[in-house]
């Protein structure tokens, strides 16, 4: 369905403002195809449907946003960075019994499950240590896929991974073994919305990788404020290795590990000294 300029800009404005997606014009066609498809499946008229989209944050708007976001991801993505994360988590587990990890913009679950696999492989998940990884994404379909944990070849780029160790092959698909699912759960949520983070306080490590590259500057600022409020005093934030936030915020400072920037809350050392 072709949107007229006014309709297009109204919907685009909502998507940019409420979800932070940097909406380039080539996404217009994707949005129009999505609306066409929804008109068929809901039986609504174009006028009715557009008034729902413009009405506020609702299910249809979230589905529309999801239709234009980039969801590319794969298991063991940016492995050198993940190795650093696992070392840091191992260090943290020595002095605490509980670790809480968030994977923001988790797409189909490849990132949080990779973390679970790596933590299991390190052999640091002893009884009595409570470790949880929560994946959050705006896209309901991505969250459904993550909960099912069944993947095609597209989710694997690294040919050296011993897939049969972590997955059971079913026809052309790979089902993640139950053991790696146990410490992982998933929610739908918008990282620009403070409510998404309300139940997550004192989080030890946040991954928000390959999400900011698709967001506006203003949205990144809001997301960083939300992450800051959720992280523990000495928590860590990982962004994608091409997504430096150093010049974007004074809430976080980089700490370098093997050449990679890992972010800490600005005042964590000062508070430690008090
Ligand atoms: C390119 S994927 C990154 C996946 C994974 N983090 C990685 O690095 O491989 C970006 C994900 O962010 C999600 N996303 C985009 N905007 C979001 C928002 N405002 N709140 C929550 N998730 C969002 C998209 O739906 C998509 O699944």
Per-residue pLDDT in tens (0 to 9) along the chain, 274 residues: 788 888 888 899 989 999 999 988 788 999 999 999 999 999 999 999 999 998 888 999 999 999 999 999 999 999 999 999 999 999 999 999 999 999 999 999 999 999 999 999 999 898 889 999 999 999 999 999 999 999 999 999 988 899 999 999 999 999 999 999 999 999 999 999 999 999 999 999 999 999 999 999 999 999 999 999 999 999 999 999 899 999 999 999 999 999 999 999 998 766 555 5
Sketch out the chain's domains with CATH numbers.
Answer: 5-68 (1.10.155), 79-273 (3.40.50.150)
- Contact residues for 249 (Cβ-Cβ < 8 A; gap 6+): 221, 224
**In the prediction, which pLDDT does 270 show?**
63
pTM check: above 0.75: yes
**In the prediction, which pLDDT does 274 show?**
52
**In the prediction, which pLDDT does 25 show?**
79
Q: Which of 66, 138, 188, 218 to mutate to test the pocket of ligand 1 (most atoms within 8 A of CB)?
A: 138
How far apart (Å, rounded) are the C-alpha atoms in residues 92 and 68? 38
Q: Which burial class, exposed, middle or buried, applies to 270 when counting CB atoms under 10 A from its CB (0-12, 13-18, 19+)?
A: exposed
Residue 187 phi, psi dihedral angles, 5° rounding: -140, 150
How far apart (Å, rounded) are the C-alpha atoms in residues 44 and 35? 10
Ligand 1 pocket, Cβ-based, cut-off 6 angstroms: 19-21, 66, 69-73, 77, 105-107, 111, 137-139, 142, 190-192, 209-211, 240
**In the prediction, which pLDDT does 271 show?**
53
**In the prediction, which pLDDT does 272 show?**
54
**In the prediction, which pLDDT does 267 show?**
85
């Amino acid at each position: 369905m072709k949107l007229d300029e006014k309709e297009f800009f109204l919907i685009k404005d909502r998507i940019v403002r409420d979800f932070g997606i940097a909406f380039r014009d080539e996404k217009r066609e994707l949005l129009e195809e999505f609306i066409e498809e929804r008109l068929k499946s809901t039986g609504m008229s174009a006028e009715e449907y557009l008034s729902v989209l413009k009405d506020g944050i609702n299910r249809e708007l979230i589905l529309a946003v999801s239709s234009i976001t980039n969801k590319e991801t794969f298991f063991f993505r940016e492995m050198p960075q993940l190795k650093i994360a696992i070392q840091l988590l191992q260090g943290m587990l020595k002095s605490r019994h509980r670790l809480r990890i968030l994977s923001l913009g988790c797409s189909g679950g490849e990132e949080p499950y990779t973390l679970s696999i790596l933590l299991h492989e390190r052999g640091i998940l002893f009884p009595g240590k409570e470790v949880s990884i929560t994946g959050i994404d705006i896209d309901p379909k991505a969250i459904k896929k993550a909960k099912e944990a069944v993947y095609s070849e597209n989710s694997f780029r690294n040919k050296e991974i011993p897939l049969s160790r972590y997955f059971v092959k079913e026809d052309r698909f790979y089902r993640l073994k139950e053991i790696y699912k146990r410490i992982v759960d998933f929610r739908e949520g918008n990282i620009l919305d403070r409510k998404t983070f309300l139940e997550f306080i004192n989080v030890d490590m946040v991954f928000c990788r390959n999400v900011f590259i698709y967001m506006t500057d203003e949205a990144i600022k809001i997301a960083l404020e939300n992450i800051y409020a959720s992280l523990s005093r000495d928590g860590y934030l990982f962004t994608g290795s091409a997504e430096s936030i150093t010049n974007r915020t004074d809430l976080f400072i980089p700490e370098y590990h093997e050449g990679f920037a890992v972010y800490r809350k600005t005042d964590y050392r000062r508070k430690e000294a008090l």
